[in-house]
Chain A
Amino acid sequence: MSRPPVEPVVDLALAREHGLTDEEWERILAILGRKPTFPELGIFSVMWSEHCSYKSSRVHLRKLPTEGEHVLVGPGEGAGAVAIGDGLAVIFKIESHNHPSFIEPTQGAATGVGGILRDVFSMGARPIASLDSIRFGPLEDPKHRMLLRGVVHGIGGYGNSVGVATVGGETTFHECYRGNILVNAFNLGLVEADGIFRGQASGVGNPVIYVGSKTGRDGIHGASLLASAEFDEESEAKRPTVQVGDPFTEKCLIEACLEAMRSGDVVGIQDMGAAGLTCSSFEMASRAGTGIEMDLDRVPQRAAGMTPYELLLSESQERMLLVSRPEAVQRILDIFARWDLDAVVVGHVTGDGRMRVRWHGETVVDIPVDPVAENAPCYERPMRRPADLDERQKLDLASIEPEDDPQGALETLLDDPNLACKAWIWRQYDSMVQGNTVLGPGGDAALVRVRREDGTATGKALAMSVDCNPRWCWLDPYAGTIAAVAESARNVACTGARPLALTNCLNFGSPERPEVMWEFAEAVRGLGDAARALGTPVVSGNVSFYNETSGRAIFPTPTVAMVGLLGDVRRHAVSHWTEPGLAVVLLGETREELGGSVWLALRRGLEAGTPPAVDLAHERRLHALLADAVEAGLARTAHDVSEGGLAVALAEACLTGPARVGVRVTLADPLRLDALLFGESTGRVLVASADPDALLARAAAAGVPARRIGETGGDRLVIAPPGGRPWIDTKLDHIAAIWERALPRRLEETA
């Protein structure tokens, strides 16, 4: 005999505890024409949480360019899809797992990877490459050393076990992340363009099948209470809302789901991610304009005595919901049985547009689908330009003491964890599994060869890079976001690939603060303008608000991940000098721009000014030139000049290859020396070429400023004025030791 669980009284007070506003409570009453049951209240609270509903961001995100010639699926599905020729498509997305990773770094980061993988393979694609963008507080803080270790173990532990290569990423350390770290996980999958699946529950009478792990009590209200509220002193108590990952089950789930999808027996499929069973079933029914009737007693359960509320809101990992056809059910169940995975018919598709859930013979949920999933609240939150923004942007270069020790400055910059070698991190990631990694971690962009499922190569490759300079976004969110898009595209272009489309993860503070909302709107405006100018539509994305603690928000961090296509993988450039005797050419122009630079922060203790200007028309010409030059064999090396400026970029090209190769450069620009060496003017790329004249001619024809500045070779980095004593002249072994040890040295500290 069933005994009804002890349920609290459902009223406005309980709704508020669930993070719902008074107005949203009224809206619920109006939709239902009655008070919600306890499980129904839970459903509304997660579906209308910021994390699931995008209620504060939707009005802005609508303005993004999401369409393009090659775009097959834009935002709204699990991930975006873009055609790459040969009847193939790529599916990719980046997503945040910030709040859980701060509370429980290893599991938080691991399940972040698991979630993004499911978004990709639920559309029929085999995940082939991952990137991660992770940001922490200063490493001097032992808590942040622990968080870095935990997050890296989580990303590696999960990604390595599921057999998907982690091919690149970025890492930032800054005071602004002391109270809120960021963990953004990107995945890209490959699919036959006519084999893309969507999360829709179509076909009245079709069975709804639950597959994967059993449902437990973990992760309840992860989306609503953890990810949709800022942190305070009591956030540690939210640890039980963090889910626990099982990469082994995920690996089996990938193989079984792809097999099921290829069988032709799957109508629709979706990951049970945030808000679990609730969110997936609502979204699938909503997209198809149908309803779903479900029996909770059939849901595989990990714990005894789970209530309907718990079953519906659990965020247990490695679960999928799929819709098949009645005659195909046994075939589907057989596939999952072969992989020793649970697969159970838990309900069927109905035509009345309602979500009806039964438990122990009683109807515990009966809600019309559309008002919850599609007509969720949408807010135009007040915005206000931060009062101190003018103060942030104030920088009088004339009052900044010029650099008098360039060599010392270079060493300081190379020892900064933000610029230092990140091998300590990426050596812990399997970057080679699946055998397609042409360029792995440590360069400007990763490059992954495109092979079909049967192993036949197409000759093409995909380049991908994830980027954001948060300091620039804090100084000017519009310009900073444009710079992030430009840098990501430039990194991709440095391999020889042409930028194709992008995904983004917008990490911000509380949307309830007008200053944060203004920064958000400015960032989205910049994202849209840059994406339009570069012809790279926004095909997927994710918003993470409430990254703040006790009123202190992170810097605006709109992380951009760009994907590009390379036509002939045999012709690609690398980020390091490959051999001596090549001419070094600088594409783009160096201006007197030190605002928001690493040099200014580390050598003058100032985070101020306006970020360097971005000329998007120049960027587009530059990217096209790079693709043409690499294809023509005129660029063996192409390395983006970014944080730390020209001196750091030159050093990186010397140090990042399998064998170190030196360089000697002469610079004649009439600029202040610190700006010349360490300024971060955008739109610049260092190229090494065996035929510099041909390269310069192409650059002139393309309208891209280009100058020959030096030659590769030797075991030193030398940067000098014409005919004068070098500003920097150092053995590579010396700077390599600084740059390679910067991260491990800090992590070995035990205090």
Chain B
Amino acid sequence: MFAVIQFPGSNDDRDMQLALKSACGVDARLVWHKEPELPAGTRAVLLPGGFSYGDYLRCGAMARFSPVMAAVRRFADAGGPVLGTCNGFQVLCEAGLLPGALLRNRDLDFVCAWQHVRVEQAAPPFTSRARPGQVLRIPIKHGEGRYVVAPDELARLEAAGQIVLRYCDAEGAVTEAANPNGSVGNVAGVRNAAGNVMGLMPHPEHAVEALTGGTDGLVILGSLVDAVGGGGGRR
């Protein structure tokens, strides 16, 4: 069972649940943020996009105090895979489960667009279905997605293979022009040192059908399904 955490103000929660159910064929349930424990049989945790608690303070700063987050931390510490998209990425950074922080976009405006990202690390549990260097086209939609870490920290993350996705152009070139929000090193997605917690600003759950624009999001969600098994669902 895939647990999609529902904070007040989450708004891609149902989209993530539906993407997992209908496009990946796995059992996915919404888990209310006030729950002290994850449901029995949870194989992976997803922190969805949205504006938890309105994001009136820093994005994700309130959500990390939700009761369920203690359980998410225990799950992560035990090696369970945790994927945070957009607001979920912000929550993971605020919770200290991922390095760095996400600040207001370079141009200050919210941006919603289809975006190319290059896969820097093709490995389980989040990107095993990708080829190294593969370019994915996945939407972004955020006002605070500018990833920042100190320069030495960035070098350390790169050396440790923790930078998973970078913004790029259609050909895979990582350029300033292809950087939609001013993220340091064009970073679009990072993982923790153990490799079982990942955050990304793009929305794989919005790229699961050709009808609504593309299927590259399945590379990421499908990798996660491959890693933990779908609980009887199709592969």
Interface residues of A (CB under 8 A from B): 153, 156-157, 160-163, 246-249, 251-252, 338-340, 426-438, 449, 455, 569-570, 658
Indicate whether A455 sits within 8 Å of B21 (C-beta atoms), given known contacts A248-B53, A432-B203.
Answer: yes
Q: Give Cα A163 to B15, complex, Å.
A: 10
B155 adjacent to chain A (CB < 8 Å): no
State whether B205 touches A435 (Cβ < 8 A): yes
* A300, chain B: closest CB distance, angstroms: 18
18 CB contacts below 8 A, A to B, read A153-B109, A161-B54, A247-B54, A248-B56, A338-B34, A427-B112, A428-B112, A429-B112, A432-B112, A432-B139, A432-B141, A433-B12, A433-B141, A435-B18, A435-B212, A436-B212, A455-B22, A570-B211
B111 adjacent to chain A (CB < 8 Å): yes
User: Within 8 Å CB of A428, what residues of B?
Assistant: 109-112
State whether A163 touches B206 (Cβ < 8 A): no
* A559, chain B: closest CB distance, angstroms: 24
State whether A433 touches B8 (Cβ < 8 A): no
B42 adjacent to chain A (CB < 8 Å): no
B11 adjacent to chain A (CB < 8 Å): yes
B147 adjacent to chain A (CB < 8 Å): no
Residue of A nearest to B180 (CB): A427
A249, A432, A449, A455: most-surrounded residue (chain B CB, <10 A) = A432
User: Within 8 Å CB of B19, what residues of A?
Assistant: 435
Q: Give Cα A153 to B108, complex, Å.
A: 11
Residue of B nearest to A426 (CB): B112
Indicate whether A161 sits within 8 Å of B9 (C-beta atoms), given known contacts A432-B112, A449-B212.
Answer: yes
User: Within 8 Å CB of A430, what residues of B?
Assistant: 110, 112, 141
User: Within 8 Å CB of B182, what residues of A?
Assistant: none
B14 adjacent to chain A (CB < 8 Å): yes
State whether A248 touches B51 (Cβ < 8 A): yes
State whether B206 touches A435 (Cβ < 8 A): yes
* B205, chain A: closest CB distance, angstroms: 7
B84 adjacent to chain A (CB < 8 Å): no
State whether B211 touches A449 (Cβ < 8 A): yes
Question: Which of these, A157, A163, A249, A438, contacts B12 with CB under 8 Å?
Answer: A163
B113 adjacent to chain A (CB < 8 Å): yes
Q: Give Cα A20 to B211, complex, Å.
A: 55
User: Within 8 Å CB of B212, what residues of A?
Assistant: 432, 435-438, 449
Q: Give Cα A455 to B109, complex, Å.
A: 31
User: Within 8 Å CB of B189, what residues of A?
Assistant: none
User: Within 8 Å CB of B21, what residues of A?
Assistant: 455
Q: Give Cα A575 to B213, complex, Å.
A: 15
User: Within 8 Å CB of A570, what residues of B?
Assistant: 211
Question: Which of these, A163, A426, A569, contacts B50 with CB under 8 Å?
Answer: A163
User: Within 8 Å CB of A436, what residues of B?
Assistant: 212
User: Within 8 Å CB of B50, what residues of A?
Assistant: 163
State whether B15 touches A433 (Cβ < 8 A): yes
State whether B8 touches A252 (Cβ < 8 A): yes
* A241, chain B: closest CB distance, angstroms: 24
Residue of B nearest to A162 (CB): B11
Q: Which 4 A-B pairs give the minimum distances between C-beta atoms?
A: A163-B11, A248-B54, A455-B18, A161-B51
State whether A434 touches B15 (Cβ < 8 A): yes
* A175, chain B: closest CB distance, angstroms: 27
Indicate whether A247 sits within 8 Å of B51 (C-beta atoms), given known contacts A428-B112, A429-B112, A432-B112.
Answer: yes
Residue of A nearest to B211 (CB): A438
Given contacts A160-B143, A248-B51, could you give 15 more A-B pairs where the C-beta distance is less than 8 Å?
A161-B51, A248-B55, A252-B8, A252-B9, A338-B34, A340-B8, A427-B111, A428-B110, A428-B111, A433-B11, A433-B15, A435-B15, A435-B18, A438-B212, A449-B211
* A421, chain B: closest CB distance, angstroms: 13
Q: Give Cα A251 to B56, complex, Å.
A: 14
User: Within 8 Å CB of B113, what residues of A?
Assistant: 427
* B76, chain A: closest CB distance, angstroms: 26
Residue of B nearest to A428 (CB): B110
Residue of A nearest to B51 (CB): A161
* B28, chain A: closest CB distance, angstroms: 10
* A513, chain B: closest CB distance, angstroms: 40
* B213, chain A: closest CB distance, angstroms: 8
User: Within 8 Å CB of A163, what residues of B?
Assistant: 11-12, 50
User: Within 8 Å CB of B11, what residues of A?
Assistant: 161-163, 251, 433
Residue of B nearest to A160 (CB): B110
State whether B54 touches A246 (Cβ < 8 A): yes
* B100, chain A: closest CB distance, angstroms: 23
State whether A248 touches B111 (Cβ < 8 A): no
User: Within 8 Å CB of B206, what residues of A?
Assistant: 432-433, 435
User: Within 8 Å CB of B32, what residues of A?
Assistant: 338
Give the contacts of B98-140 with A (CB-CB under 8 A): 109-114, 139
